[in-house]
Structure 1
């Protein structure tokens, strides 16, 4: 079956067959616009399959986080269901047989039938491998041996040799797809020399007659033709003319011999210019192809050292089993059978629009097999469930092929084998923003099947509150973009003051990494704290720098005398700095006595000793990086690792705390699937750079400028105009992806959206900038017109919890004041304080478990000073002591169960007249007492069954708030 062919169609299953089987399942393609509850719908579909016993379900998602979230929601749904405990257990067992996975991990599993398959590199490892390869590229023996080609490439590309790697990245996909003949490069070099020599001969003839020319004939004809071939300026009007008859020259000059000579020379020179232009572009691609192959070899060496594969390596290896031209893929299908995936009854694919052509090619045998049992009413024993949104396809640069997918899916949709469903509501954004998104969709996707509108749900997931706003602000700029960044700062500060929410509720999205870096610099100058989506670079944190300097003192020749001065410059307090300095000095002696070279064992030991002085997340991050480094065969020692760490510091980030108060900075591509209360989008139209297109003869990528395309469009040689027309088609395809990028960026907003547009010096807009500005003029119902858009006040605003949280609003009126967070720790690391709180709670629980009626006090110095004081104050409370030391048999940390549910209670006192159940809580969490009530009620029900006839008294005791006692 051809790669681009339609999916198979079958006749409907007979009624006789239907009556003997379980209820049929419907195959669906679900169009899920932004915020429409795609994950919920996908989870519900998986949950419905759990009712069908013995069927194998595969659910493939775009990210590991999405796969984990779906699995968690399935288990939560089972837990909250009304089924009996026995039925719930059965459903849990069935859910365990559902294969939740990313599509990349799924293919890796298919590949794992080989004797040895390296592990997949995550994004962090991939970035480190690529960076290491790039730093070593120019030292590679094969590169050094071909240094002449580097010089030639640099001259042709008009760049410095050290910029070659960036140029390779720009056209990597198209170059990798091109099969360049081995001897083509030498042939193109020879052709280049021939063209230059022939052109120089004709230039010499122009030179002979040029002195006899004047006026326009000299300036508009002779002068351009005297330029060397490599320096011909195609912007000149001359080269857009077929012959000199179309050039404005005085009648008297047309009658001269010089004109006659130039009229004869020009067509031949124009042909050589055309051939040279195309040959130069082909030579450029052939040179880059050679270096991209060399670079791939260097990266492969780095991957081999770490025992890793990149995601895109896996499908290529699977395709190679049968070869790219095999329609039936028998060897790959054998892998499916070997792994048991031929038993897949239901295949669910998330983010279908981002499936690449090669991924779909591999999945095709399984899809066709499943659809073979699906009738024209979309029902069958097996099913396909595809969910996605064509408007959110923004990964074509990574191989996503939406047009191919749409073409492959259309026949099955037309025949009825796959039914279509649309999720109509947007649960993420306010009604005002939803209406703006609808206007935007109508403009961006007019005349396509992407124009599906949304509506606010009848029952919002969260109540609307506060001011919702959309603003599209053009900013006039001269040569640079600084006025836009200044206006961005102004708008962010105003939004912060207006909504009264933390910086962390604000996200700034940019089209490129360069724009993001410049926005970050502008925010920093304004004193606004920022963070990337994945956190902040380790060395941008005060604690990160202090930890790095401490390790430098331990594992290099430095004696550490610089540390006090460094800690002071990092704003460490005098006492805190002295404590750390003392710890480093003590540890230095231990490290000095350790055997050399200092490798992972010594480094890990140092991290363990430094752990009490730094947030845990920092220690774990460095531990992970050290593990990666020391498994490399070229790893040296701890000092070398620290040098490596400095080189890679821009890639090593520390995750932010969940509610870190920092403006989020990200590229649009990096925010797919995320949402933010307030979004600021910086948009700048890209330069009118033509996309690369394949040469019609051999597919060689051609990178052409606007002026070069205009020249080729005049068809100076056969086939030149066709190349220009092909670029126009590709531009239209790229324009569609640009519209998708805008849609994805805008729909990340939940409450407000502010778009900053870079205008020209006069304030004029063009392209998509103009369309966004025009869209913001469209009226929005129940909204107030503003200078740049619309706004609506939805009343009192309540903080919106994350989807996975189920928080109870605290009543803080009668609580004692809680000290503010200490400024001694970077705000980004306060999540580490939560972990410290958990560990504190475990220590206090362990001490309280040792209390008996005979021993009613704790041993001195058994806890940290603060913990000791809290527990002693708790035990001095008379009501607490009356409950804790009741007569009876005392059981601590006791497991209880009635076969349907189980738990662990902190303290159980069994007496003839009553049962006392005690649960300790640490931290100031008394306001969450109602949250613990269902748990205590379950425990009491278990105990009533175990001790029939005896009353059960349940107490929640709050160690940090001893006067708060909750009886349940």
Structure 2
């Protein structure tokens, strides 16, 4: 049996709708394909689509699955019977009844018309829907809204301040005592981090405390895990540490007759005895080292004393062990007390947080999971809810199961409570569970994922399903449809069972790790480049460069330059053999472990080399130069004496002519008591005069405009220049910034000063959609690249390791059987007990295991070529770093290139000049092909109104333009349908359509802002008409136009033509509207005036990105129509 045939057999077994299945899928083995197959086969068996629940890890995954499903079902409609039979056989159908083809073609309509749509969604979306259906049973506010992360952080911060204020105002209260205990152990700069840390584990706190803040139970659990008995306390432990007076005096006497050093040690021990109490610090110093390890015997007594008194050796050893044991228990008791106080504070803050959310009628994303878990597993109403759901869900499909957290698993368990209760015995079809995942790709421990729990849940479901007499299939997908044979050979070698990298990939039952290539005949390459070594230190001249600037010859910057040089030499010059075309920027994906200075240096070097690069995959808005410039403008408009903000503005692309360093210095250095603005106004330099004019206009605008209106107006004039100077990532940052302004105006009293304060108090971060960067080099973290792939992958960050020194003092201790994690404040300055040492060792092991799983994910992103490189510091790289793990496994199988620069596995690169050239037959093109045809008599020219105007002004179609066209089409479609949607349902409609189209929520917020404006009420009322075709002879143009009017509004004495424009840039006034747009509107107006003589016809453009409704005066349209420049028809 060939590998491909074996893969097909396993895929059919996994997609069998009559059996539950658990699929362990190697990277690139087609799990999404099988999920879609199973969905289709379930529907073909007669299952109502509304009774299938498919849970995915991300919205992007849900959208991709829905797209694949509908694409396949829609294609079946046009298939012939033979084609359809072949497709059905491929997914596992063998018996074809007379109605099977009819039923298959009907699936598209059935899925499309399912009430509420197919349930292919994230678990958060499912939980939100469930809580909206059962708010009373869940004990929450009906019709609640979901807060975004920023709003949740604001409410949590306010709740924290409220609890700390209560603790301060009640010195004798429980909160005050808890705060005092926490402050006793936490440094001032650690306190906020500590509270933030434990509050970020709110889901775990709720899970392990049973939702009732049962701190005492948690304390007892901590004591058990630290091997502390209920009777042990600090007092009894100190008593147990009391010295054996008789034996100690014997030791002192023996030391007195020794050397001077012996006498000194004896005097120290005597001091402890005569203190009248157990002085633990002095005793610790006597028996232990500064690292709390037993002192060598020679450090307590000389060899002569030990030989003369043999009993001393055993006595000292036993005392050291007893002391270490006692000090460990005292430290652990202190840890438990400190943790209890921290939990007291945390639960009080969480309670205040919950009360405020309930008052607002809003909950955060954690609540969706926590409250659904409570509803289905704990509340008395759970049986009723499950009964109502029981008939509504018959099959559950779970994607990326290895990334599911314990709380999410509890939800799945609750949903399947009645699935395996012997229903099939009564003649009804079995309900099934399908889960697909891969332990090797479990890399989201910071979100609660645990690969060990993944395996335990597998065992639990397997036993339950088989105990019910139903079929449970364990299926392993080994065939990779993504990577070439060379890459899979490298992966198998690095993670061979004899290699260190394998540790952490295997579970309780180690399986053979093997990847079978589907693309075995395609060329592939794996290369290892030598590490970049540091050069000898050179004393920097401090006046030559800023002290925090990394030297140009640093290993990081040298590697960044090397990669930029290599990529530059590949693009257009080297063949991507598997695709038989030259390498393009979009083929390249560069993966790093963390975002650091190298990440930024690499982006800079690629841009310097002129290579299209998508920028950072995650962008902190407060680190974006574009956003800092916008904030500087706002600060200056609010306070013109803010010299620093003005200086930033004068150097920014917000000005048409930014000042040079010399010009800025000229007006700044001699200003003395004057402000920079005053000096700028006095300057006669042309750039300064232009800056004063523009800034004065914006200052006046800022006095009356809302924050969104102000920033949108500024960007309408400057967006193009900002993007040309700062790159494409500035576009995403500015989009998010405008979205933040809309959010602020929705929830706060609108003011520019208030917005600036609100924005600066947050920590906004956006995740950019790197899947859309199809024409640019992508640089991402491995976590961000999960689920993506690329023909060429470069791994440059291969030497850095997880830094154990930066581990938080707040440890989350996992429960082996349930995945519950209990917080423990480790108090690192206290004595390290064996229990703490063991927990820290386990934590380090878990971190190392996930580090290796990250390596697996990184290597398996590559389709055709993989390049491993790195840089090192002054110290040697760790033996277990990625670079050493890869080189130790691969170098024996690789060959060195002729110049000795790299080691290579697989095929050699092929350059364009070496590629075989196909000679094409030359033909002569007749002259008439290139000549525009003359107009035939008796026929008029036809034109689309949107294509009138000078043809040279039409935008060139590129990838950004194409994305803009797609976005525009989506928004036009939404606005076309919106008037027919009841106002109460418009928000859900717009959000759903925007997300389905693959756009971010900012676009939805803008559209909603439009619909809520009172001056635009009749634009979106049911009285107008959308997408109205219009055809008419325009005398002034000498041609017939044929087009569609976006929106036509009929009023008592006039007709209003509204055209939707989705341009990123919009004019400040009608006279600045593009001439082609004005000509389009003038043509529409002329056509309708010919049909509706005597009725006034007005025109307006609705700029959706602003949002701005701009009427065009009649005189401007007339002038445009009579002084036209018309493109050839």
Normalising to structure 1: TM-score of the pair? 0.66
Q: Which range moved further: 342-351 or 207-216?
A: 207-216
Residue number in structure 2 paired with 1:335: 385
Q: Deviations over 1:659-708 (max 9, x none)?
A: 38876554433332233442325243335679764799x97737497996
1:35 deviates by: 2.1
Say if 2:824 is the partner of 1:701. yes
* 1:613 and 2:696 matched: no
Distance 2:533 2:202 in 1: 35
Partner of 1:406: 458
Is the counterpart of residue 180 in structure 1 residue 215 in structure 2?
yes
Gapped regions of structure 2 (runs ≥ 5)? 1-15, 80-104, 273-278, 538-549, 572-582, 659-686, 720-730, 914-928, 932-949, 974-1025, 1042-1066, 1085-1089, 1092-1123
Could you tell me whether the CA contact under 8 Å between 1:31 and 1:422 is conserved in 2? Answer: yes
Asked if 1:624 corresponds to 2:739, the answer is yes
Change (3 A) 1:451 1:332: farther
The 5 Å alignment of 1:541-580 reads: 541=624, 543-554=626-637, 556-558=638-640, 566-571=648-653, 574=656
1:384 aligns to 2:433 (yes or no): yes
* Aligned-partner SS, 2:481: coil
Q: Equivalent residue of 2:37, what SS?
A: helix
Instruction: Tell me the SS of whatever aligns to 1:420.
Output: strand
Number of residue pairs matched by the alignment = 809
Q: Does 1:65 align with 2:60?
A: yes
CA contact (8 A) 1:71 1:100 kept: yes
- What does residue range 345-424 of structure 1 map to in structure 2 within 5 Å? 345-372=394-421, 380-400=429-449, 401-411=453-463, 417-424=471-478
Task: Measure, in 2, the Cα distance between the counterparts of 1:222 and 1:493.
Answer: 69
CA displacement, residues 71-94 of structure 1 (integer Å, 9 cap, x when unaligned): 222222233223488774345324
Task: Give 2:514's aligned residue.
Answer: 453
Aligned partner (choices 795, 799, 802) of residue 686 of structure 1: 802
Structure 1 contact 543–614 (Cα < 8 Å) conserved: no
8 Å Cα contact 1:509/1:745 also seen in 2: yes
Question: 3-state SS of the aligned residue for 2:365?
Answer: coil
Q: 2:526 aligns with which of 463, 469, 474?
A: 469
Post-superposition offset of 1:743: 1.5
Identify the match of residue 78 of structure 1 among 73, 76, 79.
Answer: 73
Matched, 1:754 2:868: yes
**3-state DSSP of counterpart to 1:28:** strand
2:570 counterpart residue number: 499
Pair 419,574 (structure 1): closer, same or farther in 2 beyond 3 Å: same
* Aligned partner of residue 34 in structure 1, secondary structure: coil
Distance in structure 2 (CA, Å) of the matches to 1:235 and 1:171 = 37
Aligned residues of 1:680 and 1:753 also touching (Cα < 8 A): yes
Deviation at 1:107, TM superposition (A): 2.1
Distance in 1 between residues matched to 2:780 and 2:257, nearest whole Å: 62
* 1:427 aligns with one of 469, 472, 481: 481
- Aligned partners of 1:657, 1:363: CA distance in 2, in Å? 30
**In the alignment, what sits opposite 2:23?**
30
Calculate the aligned-residue CA RMSD, in Å.
6.1
Cα displacement string for residues 148-181 of structure 1 (whole angstroms, at most 9, x for unaligned residues): 7656545535674445346647987876636532
- Where does residue 250 of structure 1 map in the other structure? 303
Offset, 1:195: 6.2
- What residue number does 1:923 align with? none
Contact 2:617/2:770 (<8 A) preserved: yes
* 1:60 positional shift: 1.0
Provide the residue aligned with 2:194 in structure 1. Answer: 164
Q: Residue 482 of structure 2 contacts residue 519 of structure 2 at CA under 8 Å; is this kept in 1?
A: no
Distance 1:39 1:323, change over 3 A: closer
Distance in 2, Cα, partners of 1:59 & 1:497 = 43
Paired with 1:87 and 1:173, the residues of 2 have a C-alpha distance of 40
CA distance in 2, matches of 1:830, 1:303: 42
The change in CA–CA distance for 1:724 and 1:870 in structure 2 (over 3 A counts) is closer
Residue 370 of structure 1 aligns to a residue in which SS? Answer: coil
Q: Secondary structure at the match of 2:28?
A: coil
Shift in Å, 1:535? 4.9
CA contact (8 A) 2:28 2:482 kept: yes
Asked if 1 retains the 8 angstrom alpha-carbon contact of 2:441 and 2:854, the reply is yes
C-alpha change, 1:375 and 1:682, in structure 2 (3 Å) is farther
Given candidates 597, 622, 625, the residue that maps to 1:518 is 597
Shift of 1:291: 4.0
Q: Which structure is richer in relative contact order (CA contacts within 8 A, separation 6 or more)? A: 1
- What SS is found at the alignment partner of 1:670? helix
Distance 1:365 1:214 in 2: 74
Q: 1:820 to 1:250 in 2, by over 3 A?
A: farther
Q: Which residue of 1 aligns with 2:118?
A: 98
1:868-894 Cα distance to aligned partner (Å, 9 max, x none): 479999x9xxxxx9xx9xxxxx99xxx
Partner SS for 1:39: helix
Q: Secondary structure at the match of 1:419?
A: strand
| Distance in 2 of aligned mates of 1:251 and 1:173 | 62
Give the secondary-structure state (helix, strand or coil) at the position aligned to 1:348.
strand
Shift in alpha-carbon separation, 1:469–1:344, aligned structure 2, 3 A: same
> Compared with structure 1, are the counterparts of its residues 132 and 289 closer, same or farther at alpha carbon in structure 2 (3 Å cutoff)?
same
Superposition pairs for residues 860-899 of structure 1, below 5 Å?
868=1075
Question: Within 1, Cα distance between the matches of 2:283 and 2:20?
Answer: 59
Matches of 1:403 and 1:170, distance apart in 2: 26
Aligned 1:815-826 pairs, distance under 5 A: none
Q: How does 1:736-747 map to 2 (within 5 A)?
A: 736-747=849-860
Unmatched runs of 5 consecutive residues or more in structure 1: 1-22, 595-600, 713-719, 799-812, 876-880, 885-889, 892-958
Equivalent residue number for residue 54 of structure 1: 48
User: Structure 1: how far apart are the matches of 2:158 and 2:559?
Assistant: 36
Q: CA deviation at 1:350?
A: 0.8
Most deviating of 206-215 and 344-353: 206-215
Please state whether the residue corresponding to 1:236 is helix, strand or coil: coil
Match of 1:659 among 773, 791, 794: 773
Q: Distance in 2 between matches of 1:195 and 1:367?
A: 49
Find the aligned partners of 1:396 and 1:786 in 2 and give their Cα distance: 38
TM-score by length of 2: 0.58
The structure-2 alpha-carbon separation of the partners of 1:369 and 1:304, relative to structure 1 and needing over 3 Å to count, comes to: closer
Q: Say if 1:381 and 1:201 are closer, same or farther in 2 by CA, change over 3 A.
A: closer
Within 5 Å, which residues of 2 pair with 1:525-544? Answer: 534-538=617-621, 540-541=623-624, 543-544=626-627
Maintained 8 Å contact 1:783/1:792:
no
Match of 1:602 among 706, 710, 715: 706
Tell me the distance in 2 between the aligned counterparts of 1:437 and 1:319.
39
In the alignment, which residue of structure 1 is the partner of 2:167?
142
Within a 5 Å distance, the mapping from 1:912-927 to structure 2 comes to none
Asked if 1 retains the 8 angstrom alpha-carbon contact of 2:24 and 2:436, the reply is yes
| 3-state SS of paired residue (1:648) | coil
Which whole-Å CA distance do the structure 2 matches of 1:70 and 1:621 have between them?
27
